[in-house]
Chains A and B, each alone.
Chain A
Amino acid sequence: MKRLLFLILGILIVLPTTTALAGGPPPKDLLKGKFIEIQEESRTATFIKDGAESSMTLTFGEAMTADDITLNKKVMVSLDKHAGEGVIKDVSVMFMDMTIMRIGALLLIGLIGGLLSGFIGSGGAFVLTPAMMSLGAPGAIAVASNMCHKFPKAMVGAYKRYKYGQADVKLGLVMAVTAILGVQIGIKMQKFILNSYGNAGSNLYVSVVFVLVLVLVGGYVFYDAYKSTKEDGEPKTSKLALRMQKIELWPMMEFKVAKVRISAWITIPVGLFTGMLAATIAVGGFVGVPGMIYVVGASAMVASATELIVAFIMGCWGSIQWGISGLIDIRMTLLILAGSLIGVQLGALGTTYVKDHVIKTVMASVMLIVAVSRGAKIPGYLADLGLSSQLQPQMASFLNSVSFWALIAALGTAGIIITAAMIKGMVQAKAEAAMQEVAPNV
């Protein structure tokens, strides 16, 4: 058993030589720097790349005008390789101005995202990245800044839940290492699909996998939570997990907090699959937590706490990669963190007042609503691929707003269920304590 742990730690040390990221690696053909001059007649602009002494001349892309270029502000430039050398495809300002409204929005989203994370182990990422983008951050910056806020948040949440005796460190390590390997496989698959079917094909593939996984897994978790509310509310190990635990195949692993003894041949595929999906749909936790519950046999309480350890390790590794590419907007990261560090601790202590099935209900509700959000994008991608007729502009904007508001609804619903369950639990605990004070011997 110790040998296995050493092996895992060994892999963790070797892994930095590879690239492993949830949500894919940082983009490579990006230029970062400042435009210092525009020559409108020749449709070119003078650009100084970060770290370079001399300037270079870049040509406007077809649809571009001089207004698309901001002078003397740090920008990200993506080049159109097919159009020739140094032709600009797209320019985006890297750092938006922090207005009071934006600061307030980041604090609030952080708080609710953190609450969710502390309670069900994952979540927040699926809404934070689009939210940052709608506040005006470029996509790559939003992904990087989100990832950099995820790991300290997960660390604080994991520490709290470890103190409550809910987190299984060993299971977390095994899951994280195998998930990082899974991410590699996931990225390879993504690249294959991107090369074969282009951007629209890749988007369609991601959305279909996203919706299928979330509806199937979320639906099952919901059914299971409903079933256990009907019964006595006590968590029961799933039949599948019980069967898996009976397989005596070397090496057997024992997870003390999760109270599970299971073959590594079962645990490793769960982690690999989590990583593969994390690379595809960027929310591995939605598979990792149910995987730990229904295949490995941990309770929802332990699985959601352990997921925070997984998120910490994977997030830390991912952030280093995005940091090396220089894409983290630390202001956004830290402002979200301000809210989410309060939220994550609130969510973590909230779990001590609720039963297992409440955690499952929250997780399932979020998964199903997020599935609606992504599902609303599928008709657009189908049209892009030419598999169905083009969408009417009104229809397209309607579907876009459905997608956006479903995300907000997912956060709101989760926030309400968690807060209500926590208040109910606290009131109950207070009443019990008062009863004990009146009649100490009862």
Chain B
Amino acid sequence: MKQNEFEKSMSAAAFAEAGEHDTAKEMMTNNESQKSNKQSLKEKKPYGKMVIFGAISLSAYIALLANQEWVTETFTKGGINTVWPIGAAFFFSFIHGAFASNFLSVLGIEAKK
């Protein structure tokens, strides 16, 4: 039988008044643990995102190191070519930054709420 929140607290209160403290506590904590179960389902670790961003980031790094001759030549021509290094820095900070953020979440390192 499904009980709503109000009924549950009322019956817990009735048990408590009758001196059955343990039963009352159990009813309430059951309630809590269900809630936290739901919460943990919601806060599923972002494995998928980590893998996707990680893969993009890794292939970008491999592409960079595999073509380093062309890259260093083009990126240091000076003048308007400054958009290359600046653009690359922004691109990597978004992609690799997103990977790093998800990676830390997967490790379970989160900011204090």
Contacts and interface: CB of A to CB of B under 8 A. Distances in A.
Partners in one complex: yes
Nearest to A353: B112
Interface string A98-126: 10000000000000000000000000000
A353 B113 CA distance: 9
Contact of B89 (A151, A329, A346, A440): A151
B111 A164 contact: yes
Given A152-B89, A333-B89, A334-B61, A349 B111 contact: yes
Interface in B21-61: 28-29, 32, 36, 57, 61
A335 to B, nearest CB: 8
Contact of B85 (A74, A95, A319): A319
Nearest to B83: A323
A42 B100 CA distance: 56
Contacts of B10: none
Interface residues of B, number: 38
Contacts of B32: 437, 440
B18 interface: no
Interface string B70-113: 01110111110111111011101100110011011000011110
B57 to A, nearest CB: 8
| Most chain A Cβ neighbours within 10 Å, of B29, B79, B88, B97 | B97
Contacts of B14: none
A231 B82 CA distance: 51
B65 A331 contact: yes
Given A320-B86, A331-B68, A425-B112, A337 B100 contact: no
A323 B93 contact: no
B61 A342 contact: no
A73 to B, nearest CB: 10
Interface majority SS on B: helix, strand, loop or mixed? Answer: helix
A298 interface: no
Nearest to A321: B82
A352 interface: yes
B89 A149 contact: yes
A341 B61 CA distance: 14
A399 to B, nearest CB: 35
B93 A155 contact: yes
Nearest to A428: B112
Given A324-B78, A425-B112, A337 B93 contact: yes
A322 to B, nearest CB: 8
Interface in A308-356: 316, 319-320, 323-331, 333-334, 337-338, 341-342, 345-346, 348-349, 352-353
25 contacts: A74-B72, A74-B73, A98-B68, A148-B86, A151-B89, A153-B93, A155-B93, A160-B101, A323-B81, A324-B78, A326-B75, A327-B76, A329-B76, A330-B64, A330-B84, A330-B85, A337-B89, A337-B92, A337-B93, A345-B97, A345-B104, A348-B111, A349-B104, A426-B109, A440-B28
